[in-house]
Every structure is written in C-alpha cells, then in structure tokens.
Amino acid sequence: MGYSSLKMGADVYQAPRGTVDILPAEQAYWRYIEQKAAQTCQLYGYERIDTPVFENMNLFSRSIGERTDIVEKEMYSFEDKGGNRITLRPEGTAPVCRAYIENGMHNQPQPVKLYYSASIFRYERPQAGRYRQHHQFGYEVIGDNDPALDAEVIDMAWRFFESLGLRRLKLLLNSIGCRKCRPDYLASLRQYYIGHRDELCPECGVRLEKNTLRLLDCKKPLCQQFAASAPRSADCLCPDCAEHFNLLRKYLQQLELPFSVNHCLVRGLDYYTRTVFEIQPQTGGAQSTIGGGGRYDDLIEGLGGKPTPALGFATGIERIILNLKKQQVAIPPIPTPEVFIAQAGDKVKNEAVKLASSLRGAGIGVLQASSSKSLKAQLRQANNFSAHYVIIIGEEEIETGTVILRNMTTAEQETIALTKLQNRLQCPP
C-alpha cells in the first residue's frame, strides 16, 4: 500500500484507541515471556492449542454469562456477510472448551492439558495495563475434579511468575461452591444486601438485581465495607465442596504457596465453580491483577458436551511486562548478527554479497553495509549495530583470496584466508 493510501484528507492514521504496536525495542520481553511460558508448560505436561480469533457470539454469551461486564459492554461483535453473529475472542477458556467438545477430546486420556498464547479483545476504558487488544498466556486442564489438580494449576502460575523473576506477589483464593450449594448462598447474600439497598452505589443497585455475587467485587470504599461483613461463600459450601476446598488448602500449604483466603474474590466471569484464585502485585489491588483462574465444572456440559470437570488460569502479557519493568527485572536481549561486512569500494560489492550469503548459509548472522558509504562510515554503522566482527573486503583482498577481520571489542585486526574465515568465526581462538 502506497503512503498516499494511508492518508485520507488531512487525517493521519493512528492505532485504534486501546491498542499498541509492539515495537522491536519491546520484543525481548515478549520473547522472554513466551519462552518461559513454553518451558513451564512442558514441565507440567501441557500441549499447545490455537483457536480462531473469532467465534460465534453465542459461545461467549452462554459461557461468560449474559449479565457480566464482558458480555454486556465489552465484546467486539458484528454480523458477517453471511449474517452470522461473530465475536472477537474476549477470553480464551470458552474457545478451548468448544474445541475440546468439537474435536472429541473426551476420547483421549483425561485430563487433557492445553495451553494457548493469544490476542484478546475487550472494549474497556484504556488505562495503564488495560487495553482493548491484549494478549493472554493461559492453560486449561479438562476432565478431572481432583483438588490436587487445582493445587497444581495454582502452583504452575506461581512458579511461572517466579521463573520470570517477578517478586512481591500475593495469591488470593476462594471457593464459590457449586450449583448445589450456590443458590442458598446467593439467597443469603441477597438478603444481606437488601438490608443495605439504599446505601449501595448505583452499579451495585443493579448488581443486586442482576448478578448478586459481583456485589462483593465493587471497588467503591463504602461497598467494600459492606462486602467485608457479607456472608461468606466458604462458610456455605456443601460437604463435597467443603472437602474439596479443605484438601486444596492442605496441598497448597504442602507446596508452601503463600495464599490467603479472600472472601470477596469472585472473578468477573460467570462460569466458575468451587475454586477461584488471583495473583496480584503486593501493592496495587484488584485492578492490577496479573493473572486469575479457577474451576468451571459445568461449562463443558453447558456448551453441549458431556459433564466434564475442568479448571484453568490466564495471565495478561502486557501486565507481566509492566511489572517486570516496575521491578527492574533484567531481560536477556535478542541476539543480533555478530558479523558486519564492509567493502572498500563499489567494485568489490559483488564479492561482499556472495560472502554474506555463504556465511548465512553456514548459520552465521551477517549484516551488510547497504549503500556506497565510505569505509569509515561503514565501520561506524557496524558499531551502531553492535557487531562483534567486521569483515573488510577490498580489491587487494579479492586478488589474494583473503579478507581483513576486525574484532570490534579489542580493535585487533588480521588478514585471513577466505577458506578459513567460516571456521574462524564459528570457533574463535
């Protein structure tokens, strides 16, 4: 596309609000996190899955919940040319469950452990660490209700952040029961809040009618005071859920994970049952949550599959980077080509092009002086690229089958036979 087609009248195009370009200077963070994520997944036995960027809208409204902020306000939905209601993925769990059902993964040995790294779209109000397009690394374990797996999922999230070098995090845990015990709990929660109806903020007034559990999640100071004294889900669990939660806490203690039970932790998606958890920086609160997850034992059945317990976790890569920067964690740079080829005069350009290609063919990264700059300017260019070696080719060298090899760190220079160059670069003395 020509430059003129990027402009319309006096408008200069900008990335849409809430989106950013991930520029080369940022890529070391992304690569670092993706490599650590893949390593962690291998350690815990997860396989990668990639699902489409968009799905049928119903998948999300049915799974996340019609009365959640995500479905009510934040989905990027549109009708395609075939009249299908389509939504850009606002989270990763429902698509993975859809893929599990559609691809008959219940026939595989259970549990099935899957991970993804994907772009996510939510029409939110942009601010630091909150975007309209962000990226999540997430993983799901499908087909087992053992609380030891809940502990493993939480352990994996914690160890992943540790492996990145993140410190000063807190782990919040809660159990919100199952479809057997939740209705009674919700009734008592509602009863409690009806007593405070007139003092609640306007949004909580609506939540009281539409999504009672989310009352516990309000960030307004007065509503938080009510939440602190509200009935607690963990006190209203049926015997099976209570046993599950007890065992989970025991496993977490054994793993020496520093969790604290937070009775107001309910998460923003409706599919959760029993375990919910979040990992947050020690300072910052719920708005800065780095990752969260939990169990969703009814979701696969709700999407038309067989009853299948499952759980998972996801973390926002942009939020991880924010915290890595805040904590000044050193990130390994992405290696750049070590060798720069400079040519003394345009006549030898042909040889320089050939040499660059043959060295790259041998697996040696090479940058080549691109224009007919003076040799001095080419050496400056090599310096700017932080090249470790500069190969200088001139007419005399071509005649004698040699090149000049300059070590940019020591400034030492030697003449070396072309036939020995490759070996010399691969095995320096």
Token reading at 21: 């370009």
Alpha helices (H) in 72-198, listed in sequence order:
93-102, 147-164, 182-194
Cα separation, 353 vs 378, in Å, equals 15
Question: Which distant-in-sequence residues (6+ apart) come within 8 Å of 174 by Cβ?
Answer: 233, 234, 261, 262, 263, 264, 265, 266, 275, 276, 277
Beta strands in 163-272 (DSSP E): 169-175, 259-261
Does 136 bind ligand HAM (CB under 6 A)? Our answer is yes
Binder among 212, 262, 289, 323 for ligand HAM (CB under 6 A) = 289
CB 234 within 8 Å of CB 245: yes
By beta-carbon proximity to ligand HAM, the closer residue of 301 and 338 is: 301
> In this structure, is the dihedral angle defined by the CA atoms of residues 384, 385, 386 and 388, taken in order, positive or negative?
negative
DSSP letters, 84-96, are -EEEE-S-SHHHH
By beta-carbon proximity to ligand HAM, the closer residue of 128 and 222 is: 128
Does 315 bind ligand HAM (CB under 6 A)? Our answer is yes
Q: Which stretch binds ligand HAM (CB under 6 A): 5-13, 40-48, 132-140, 415-423?
A: 132-140
Binder among 319, 356, 392, 405 for ligand HAM (CB under 6 A) = 319
How many positions of this chain bind ligand HAM (CB under 6 A)?
27
By beta-carbon proximity to ligand HAM, the closer residue of 138 and 309 is: 138
By beta-carbon proximity to ligand HAM, the closer residue of 323 and 378 is: 323
Site string for ligand HAM, 236-275 (x = CB under 6 A): --------------------------------xx------
Binder among 140, 150, 270, 298 for ligand HAM (CB under 6 A) = 140
Site string for ligand HAM, 86-115 (x = CB under 6 A): -----xxx----------------------
Q: Which stretch binds ligand HAM (CB under 6 A): 40-48, 228-236, 316-324, 397-405?
A: 316-324
**Three-state secondary-structure class, residue 149:** helix
Q: Least distance from C-beta 280 to ligand HAM, angstroms?
A: 9
Beta strands across the sheet bearing 366-368:
366-368, 339-343, 389-393, 402-407, 413-417
Which phi and psi (to 5°) does residue 85 adopt?
Answer: -85, 115
By beta-carbon proximity to ligand HAM, the closer residue of 311 and 387 is: 311
Binder among 67, 106, 130, 424 for ligand HAM (CB under 6 A) = 130
Does 314 bind ligand HAM (CB under 6 A)? Our answer is yes
CB 137 within 8 Å of CB 339: no
Does 122 bind ligand HAM (CB under 6 A)? Our answer is yes
Does 138 bind ligand HAM (CB under 6 A)? Our answer is yes
Site string for ligand HAM, 290-309 (x = CB under 6 A): xxxxx---------------
Neighbouring C-alpha atoms within 13 Å toward the C-beta of 199: 12
Q: Least distance from C-beta 277 to ligand HAM, angstroms?
A: 9
Q: Is 386 left (phi over 0), alpha (psi -120 to 50) or beta?
A: left
Cα separation, 315 vs 68, in Å, equals 19
Q: Which residues bind ligand HAM (CB under 6 A)?
A: 91-93, 122, 124, 129-131, 134, 136, 138, 140, 268-269, 289-294, 312-316, 318-319
